[in-house]
Amino acid sequence: MQRTLTGPVELETIVSLAKRRGFVFQSSEIYGGLGSVWDYGPLGVEMKRNVKDAWWRAMVRERDDIVGIDAAILMDPRVWVASGHVAGFTDPLVECDKCHRRFRQDAVPSASGVTEDESPVGPVSALVSGLSGQVAQELRNRLEAHARSLGKRRVTAVDYGDAGDYPPGTVPCPQGDGGFLGEPRQFNLMFKTFMGPVEDDAARIYLRPETAQGIFVNYENVQTTTRRKLPFGVAQIGKSFRNEITPGNFIFRTREFEQMEMEYFCPPDQADRWFDHWVEFSMNFFKRYGIRAANLRTRVHTDDERPHYAKAALDVEYNFSFGWAELETINNRADYDLSNHEKHSGRDLKYFDEETKAKFLPYVVEPAMGADRTMLAILVDAYDEEPGEKESRVVMRLHPDIAPITVAVLPLSRNERLMPTARRVHEAVRPHFNSQFDDTQSIGRRYRRQDEVGTPLCVTVDFDTVEKDQAVTIRDRDTMEQVRVPIDGLVAALRDRLDVIRKRVAG
């Protein structure tokens, strides 16, 4: 539907609303907050659950070819050797020799801007400017030692090369603690812990960095117990963990997050076709739940960004205020995972095609969506502000299946003549919709509070309800239109009106 606001909404607006209204809180806030870890409050938990339910409905319940599982977060550590995560799920980082903080190599200042200079300390002076006396002196010493090791009298830009290609030990720590960054090393992003009473290497296990492997190791169990023939898919929703080095942008990139992943097993010659199918499916899913098409795009991965397991990969991206960013990846994983699990487990995972009598490893096409990111994109896209005479009206134009509250029941006031009927109306509505009873402030303020959290419909009980007509008013969040309906027909009327809003939001 048409919005008053145009252009991407700033993240701070959403962060502040999310905190104020109980969608998302910082983890362990009373202790100052745990970095990039978030808790979902009373409205947030309802909304995220709705996002996951919508995905599960579209992926599993509305199709005949996909079943679900719920695998454990903890898995045999050999799974992660087979999947390539132990060796390959890494970021190149440089570590400070004093505070031992680690930084992405591409995020630290490089020396490429230093120009060759004939004055005795020319290039060095450009580097050391802004550093404290002691650190500057230490850096000078290190640079001169480096120059000597190269057989030169002084360090020049030529010695430094391109961005990030600096001599190890000559870039001061960005924390400004007097330490220097060492040589780039590969750091694994998996969280590690120990299973059992002994904390040694043999007891080391990982928190899963993707839910997908829980599906691959259960491929045979699912295929034989459900007697599935190719092509078929297995879907899963659950937590994943990554020790991200540069998390941020609220719930966009966090260290603990939820994924909604589906692995679609098919004959190798069908993989390209299914890849296109899942791209289209995903775009339709986002649009169906209210994200405007103009804010979505697809982007094919370049050769150097494709994950280690993927033959082809494409991101579905959303136009956030901080730029276009990934909501979902669609990968053609070919037989990468099943063949590696065959090798490492010794189990024959090949599929036997009864018609052709061929035995082969299926290919896998994987749509992998983040539940938290999807929720963030939906919130950002739904946010609107309408100018008013006194104050503007903030309204979240959420799809009724995603909004945390579907129907709010509001007695006009706290007058005791209204309460029994208002309670009765709420009891009639409650079994059918996620509803809230609110009798706190003035009716105008309560409408605004419901608009701000995206409640599509409010039902108001007034004195006419009790004294005259046994009817109530239904108010539409977007149009603010009000209609009077008999209590007897209220549930059916609410259903009809929600359908109207569903179409409006998706269109």
Contact call for residue 372 and ligand GAP (CB under 6 A): yes
Cα–Cα dist 305/303, whole Å: 6
- What is residue 456's DSSP assignment? -
Q: In angstroms, what is the minimal distance from the CB of 276 to ligand GAP? A: 18
| 218 φ/ψ sector (left φ>0, alpha ψ -120 to 50, else beta) | alpha
Contact call for residue 46 and ligand GAP (CB under 6 A): no
Contact call for residue 370 and ligand GAP (CB under 6 A): yes
Contact call for residue 421 and ligand GAP (CB under 6 A): no
Nearest Cα to Cα of residue 296 among 238, 369, 403, 241: 369
Cα–Cα dist 165/295, whole Å: 37
- Max CA distance (Å), the chain: 99
Contact call for residue 159 and ligand GAP (CB under 6 A): no
Choice from 48, 154, 373, 504 touching ligand GAP (CB under 6 A): 373
Cα–Cα dist 369/375, whole Å: 11
- Contact, 364 vs 235, CB < 8 A? no
Closest-by-Cβ residue to ligand GAP is 370
Choice from 52, 242, 397, 446 touching ligand GAP (CB under 6 A): 242
Span 328-357, contacts to ligand GAP by CB under 6 A: 328-329
Contact call for residue 326 and ligand GAP (CB under 6 A): yes
- Contact, 189 vs 89, CB < 8 A? yes
Per-residue DSSP letters for 104-157? EGGGS--STTPPP--STTHHHHHHHTTS-HHHHHHHHHHHHHHHHHTT-SS--H
Between residues 95 and 366, which has the closer beta carbon with respect to ligand GAP?
A: 366
Choice from 50, 105, 188, 259 touching ligand GAP (CB under 6 A): 259
Contact call for residue 245 and ligand GAP (CB under 6 A): no
Select from 3-11, 41-49, 132-140, 366-374 the region that touches ligand GAP (CB under 6 A).
Answer: 366-374
DSSP-based three-state secondary structure for 289 = coil
Cα–Cα dist 351/191, whole Å: 33
Q: In angstroms, what is the minimal distance from the CB of 328 to ligand GAP? A: 5
445 Cβ contact list (under 8 Å, min separation 6): none
Select from 47-55, 142-150, 257-265, 287-295 the region that touches ligand GAP (CB under 6 A).
Answer: 257-265
Q: In angstroms, what is the minimal distance from the CB of 278 to ligand GAP? A: 13
Contact call for residue 254 and ligand GAP (CB under 6 A): yes
Count the site residues for ligand GAP by CB under 6 A: 19
* Cα distance from N-terminal residue to C-terminal residue, the chain: 6
Contact call for residue 83 and ligand GAP (CB under 6 A): no
Q: In angstroms, what is the minimal distance from the CB of 244 to ligand GAP? A: 5
Contact call for residue 368 and ligand GAP (CB under 6 A): yes
Question: Which residues is 407 bridged to in the sheet?
Answer: 435, 457
Q: In angstroms, what is the minimal distance from the CB of 425 to ligand GAP? A: 40
Print the binding letters for residues 166-205 with ligand GAP: x by CB under 6 A, - otherwise.
----------------------------------------
- What is residue 74's DSSP assignment? B
Contact call for residue 52 and ligand GAP (CB under 6 A): no
DSSP-based three-state secondary structure for 328 = strand
How are the residues of the chain apportioned to helix, strand and coil, as percentages rounded to the nearest 5? 35, 25, 40
Between residues 128 and 327, which has the closer beta carbon with respect to ligand GAP?
A: 327
Contact call for residue 272 and ligand GAP (CB under 6 A): no
Cis peptide preceding 231, ω within 30 of 0:
yes
Between residues 373 and 446, which has the closer beta carbon with respect to ligand GAP?
A: 373
Select from 52-60, 191-199, 252-260, 413-421 the region that touches ligand GAP (CB under 6 A).
Answer: 252-260
Structure token pair of residue 34? 């745990």
Cα–Cα dist 385/396, whole Å: 9
Select from 106-114, 346-354, 365-373, 406-414 the region that touches ligand GAP (CB under 6 A).
Answer: 365-373
Contact call for residue 220 and ligand GAP (CB under 6 A): no
Structure token pair of residue 223? 């295929």
Burial 161-194 (b: 16+ CB within 10 A, else e): eeebebbebbbbbeeeebbbbbebeebbebbeee
Select from 183-191, 255-263, 380-388, 495-503 the region that touches ligand GAP (CB under 6 A).
Answer: 255-263
Contact call for residue 278 and ligand GAP (CB under 6 A): no
Residue 236 phi, psi dihedral angles, 5° rounding: -155, 140
Q: Which residues bind ligand GAP (CB under 6 A)?
A: 210, 212, 242, 244, 253-254, 257, 259, 261, 326-329, 366, 368-370, 372-373
